[in-house]
Every structure is written in structure tokens, then in C-alpha cells.
Amino acid sequence: MKVLFIGDIVGSTGRKALKETLPHLKSKYSPHVIIANGENAAGGRGITAAIAKEFFELGIHGLTMGNHTWDNKEIFEFIDDEPRMIRPANFPPGTPGRGYTVIKANGKELAIVNLMGRTFLPAIDDPFRAADEIIGKLAKKHKCILVDFHAEATSEKIAMGWHLDGRASLVVGTHTHVQSNDDIILPQGTAYLTDAGMVGSREGVLGMEREAVLRKFTTQLPVRFQVCEGKWHFHALVVDVDDSTGRAKKIQKIRLLEDEWIME
């Protein structure tokens, strides 16, 4: 199985980048399953039903979320009815939506799990305990499991990678919007990357207008952040997984820049 995972899609600039690049990525890599993090897709905060529909129509099979899951209140109208979208599984019991699901596409099955870290983020249940419980259930029926760990601290992400080595096919971090350079296949066969990066403006700060972010840092006054509309960059990764064992065989980072990329 070949899995394409796309980093946090940020606002209209990120959606524009996705439309321009995804057809070429599908042609080049022929992924069986495409997963993306969509928690910043609507104006940098949250997601709407229309945007989720747009992503699915472009060919994304599953969406993960994070700490901005609830920022767009429209999500409460459709999250329970959309099995292809998951939010962090370690939100407290009774939270709308689901924390994991199974994606079926192109004759393949991939279980996907969303977790959120606790370091430098709002209080939430233990992601390590949640991972143990959920993957313990999924592993009874599914060999191939992807975990999107939406977390701030690199140490917490790396710890999760080791914690799930041999139990997940891929553990990939999201949230920091900067693609890390530590892609590796761990000893027990889990592909790992601390952060997938983002899809959005490279002329802003993490996809947001840099003037507002600079004003916040230099004055410490309240500032309203807006999505930057400058030239985009696109970050993702492709992982080859052995269907019979769930072990990763290859991990490859993708980085594309608007007006500078050529897809061979």
C-alpha cells in the first residue's frame, strides 16, 4: 500500500496549492490512500462542510484535525455524520465526532487515528493511553494503521513514535507547520516524521500574515491573525507499507514551491 499524507492545509492559499499539485502527485506516486490534516482549512481555523466536500472531491480519502477542530462552529452540524473525518481521540468521552476510522480506497484498507499532545497545548486526556487502547482494538482486524499526532513539543512526538514502533505503520506529527528532517523507519517497522509541514503561504508566519504576527510579538497586544495570500509551499510525505505485515518499507518527504516546482 502506498499512502500520501499531506500536512496542515492553511486557508484559501493552502486550498489553492492543493488544487494545483494534487493531480500531479497522484499521477507521479499513484497513492492508494490520501490523508490530509484539515484543521486550518477555513481561514486558518477549523473547517466547514463545503471545504471538506471540496477536499474529498479532489481525491482526499480521509481528514484529520487538531486543536482548532472546534474553531468553526459549523463543524458541529456535520462531524458526527462524516466518517471520513476524525478529531483527536483523546478529547473527553462524549465529545462529538470520532477519533479513528477505517478508510477503504483503491482496494486497500487503512485505519487512521488522530491524537493530540498535552505539552504547550490545552489540557486533554492522555494521548499515550488513548493510543494503546485504540490501536489495541484496531490491530485485531487491521495491519495498516496511520497515526496523526497533533502536538507542539518535538519530544512528545518522538516519544509517541517510539511508543508505537511496531504497532503503527506510520506515526506523523502535525501542528507546527514546519516540515522536520528526521524521517526514519524505526527498528520495528514504523515510519516516523516529527512534522509533515504545511500547505499554505510561505511568505507569512506559519501561513498567517507576517505583519500581524510581528505586531503580536513586538507589542504583546491583541491581534487578529489573517491567512497570508503570498506564494505557497506544499509539504507532504509518501510511505510504502507492506500490506501483509503493516510494516513501512519506505518514507519520502515532499516539498514543493509555487512557480518553482516541476513534477517529473
- Any idea which residues carry the catalytic annotation? 68
- The secondary structure of the chain, three-state, reads CEEEEECEECHHHHHHHHHHHHHHHHHHHCCCEEEEECCCCCCCCCCCHHHHHHHHHHCCCEEECCCCCCCCHHHHHCHHHCCCECCCCCCCCCCCCCCEEEEEECCEEEEEEEEECCCCCCCCCCHHHHHHHHHHHHCCCCCCEEEEEECCCHHHHHHHHHHCECCECEEEEECCCCCCCCCEECCCCCEEECCCCEEEECCCECCECHHHHHHHHHHCCCCCCCECCCCEEEEEEEEEECCCCCCEEEEEEEEEECCCCCCC
Give the Cα separation of 147 and 158 in Å (integer). Answer: 13
Q: Cell 509555487, residue?
A: 258
